Amino acid sequence: MSTLTLNGVRKSFGALDVLQSIDLKLEDGEFLVLLGPSGCGKSTLLNIIAGLETPTAGDIRIGDKRVNDVHPKNRNIAMVFQSYALYPTMPVERNIGFGLEMRGVETDTRKRAVDGAARMLQVDHLLDRKPGQLSGGQRQRVAMGRAIVREPELFLFDEPLSNLDAKLRAEMRTEIKRLHNRLGTTVVYVTHDQIEAMTLGTRIAVMKGGVIQQLADPMTTYEKPANMFVAGFIGSPSMNFITGTLVRDGEHVGLTTDGNNPASIRLPRVAANLDALLGRKVVLGVRPESFQADGAAPDLTGTIDVVEPTGPDTLVVLALGNQTITARLGPKLTVATGETLGLSIQPDSISLFDPDSGNRIE
């Protein structure tokens, strides 16, 4: 168990800057999720923490020790890979115990540790098999066993669940959460699955193009995204972005959408005072689930374009001026394409962004 500190970490492959300047501080026992689209440098960052790649610049500290020049095996970390990276030529038992074997741990001690880890992950009946004879889920468990058996200070996971089918993935997600609760080890976990990020992380670092866009706890990331990228990346269906100009609308503030066919939206009450922003061009961000069907006093009214019942709720695509928005409404909704529909927006649920920089306006 330990803290992890990154200071100004950069990495380039030749002319390609993969990581721009990463600063990060993880407290003991934290579960950090690195979330971002493919190619944004998540694995590279993880490999740098592990010592498999050397950073072009910057410091990495585990605990109080600067580990830039420390060999991976001496960093006291364990890593689980997307492909599991089980040694195909060795049986499960040796796979799990290989790290201990390489550290010269005695056979008896090693066997006990392997048995313990295997039992914890329910793979103790598979110890004699080769990885090729295991199912995907079993391999995943063995890979986790290999990581926990050494009782490292820091766990690194690189998309450990992305090769599993949806059901197993949900199961293993719970399992990982349980393990973390039980062992309390600091974790860095890479994924591009936002559900995993929201459910597992104590903090989420959303990355894009080698830069951390936002580093915050899951609810903050969800409710107060730092910029339009984060807002659009987290949540499904993604947040609606409506560009327009802020105007006064009675005692409220309203938004007039852009385009030759403007529509009006009345903004709900928010904590901040928006008066200072009147007349300014903004992007309004509203999550689909922040809308409610409201015939009496709607904040906005649009024409229904598409209706998509998903079971637990109904997705409605609404034409609003020249733009479309998606709303997630109740399951028993009886509306038809072409009708007009009034929606209200939940208080304190909107975000405003600067249209040029994309950054959140507070």
Residue 38's binding partner, choosing from other proteins, Mg ion, ligand ATP, none, with beta-carbon cut-off 5 to 8 A by kind?
ligand ATP
Q: In Å, how far from its chain's centre is CA 74?
A: 29
By CB under 6 A, name the one of 9, 26, 44, 92 that touches ligand ATP: 44
By CB under 6 A, name the one of 8, 13, 248, 340 that touches ligand ATP: 13
Q: In Å, how far from its chain's centre is CA 87?
A: 29
Question: CA 361, CA 354: separation in Å to the nearest integer?
Answer: 6
Per rule CB under 6 A, is residue 227 in the interface with ligand ATP?
no
| Shortest Cβ 51–other proteins spacing (Å) | 8
**Residue with smaller CB distance to other proteins, 138 or 214:** 138
By CB under 8 A, name the one of 15, 16, 64, 88 that touches other proteins: 88
Q: Pattern of binders to ligand ATP over 179-208, x per CB under 6 A?
A: -------------x----------------
> Are the C-beta atoms of 129 and 89 separated by less than 8 Å?
no
Binders of Mg ion among 32-91, rule CB under 5 A?
Answer: 43
By CB under 6 A, name the one of 15, 16, 102, 297 that touches ligand ATP: 16
Question: CA 213, CA 176: separation in Å to the nearest integer?
Answer: 26
Neighbours of 255 (CB within 10 A): 25
Question: CA 235, CA 233: separation in Å to the nearest integer?
Answer: 7
**Residue with smaller CB distance to other proteins, 131 or 288:** 131
Q: Hey, what are 298's tokens?
A: 């709607």
By CB under 6 A, name the one of 42, 141, 173, 328 that touches ligand ATP: 42
| Shortest Cβ 356–other proteins spacing (Å) | 38
Range list of H helices, the chain = 42-50, 92-102, 107-120, 136-148, 166-183, 194-200, 218-223, 228-233
**Residue with smaller CB distance to ligand ATP, 140 or 344:** 140
> Are the C-beta atoms of 355 and 241 separated by less than 8 Å?
no
Of the chain, the end-to-end C-alpha distance in Å amounts to: 37
Q: In Å, how far from its chain's centre is CA 270?
A: 26
Choose among 302, 331, 300, 303: nearest CA to 315: 331
Residue 16's binding partner, choosing from Mg ion, ligand ATP, other proteins, none, with beta-carbon cut-off 5 to 8 A by kind?
ligand ATP
**Residue with smaller CB distance to other proteins, 13 or 303:** 13
> Are the C-beta atoms of 19 and 41 separated by less than 8 Å?
yes
- Site size for other proteins (CB under 8 A): 26
Binders of Mg ion among 116-135, rule CB under 5 A?
Answer: none
> Are the C-beta atoms of 288 and 327 separated by less than 8 Å?
yes
**Residue with smaller CB distance to ligand ATP, 126 or 234:** 234
Alpha carbon separation from 59 to 49, 157, 255, 268 (Å, rounded): 10, 21, 46, 45
Contacts with other proteins, residue ranges (CB under 8 A):
13-14, 47, 50-52, 54, 71-73, 77-79, 81-83, 85-89, 98-99, 102-103, 146
- Footprint of ligand ATP on this chain (CB under 6 A)? 13, 16, 18, 36, 38-44, 192
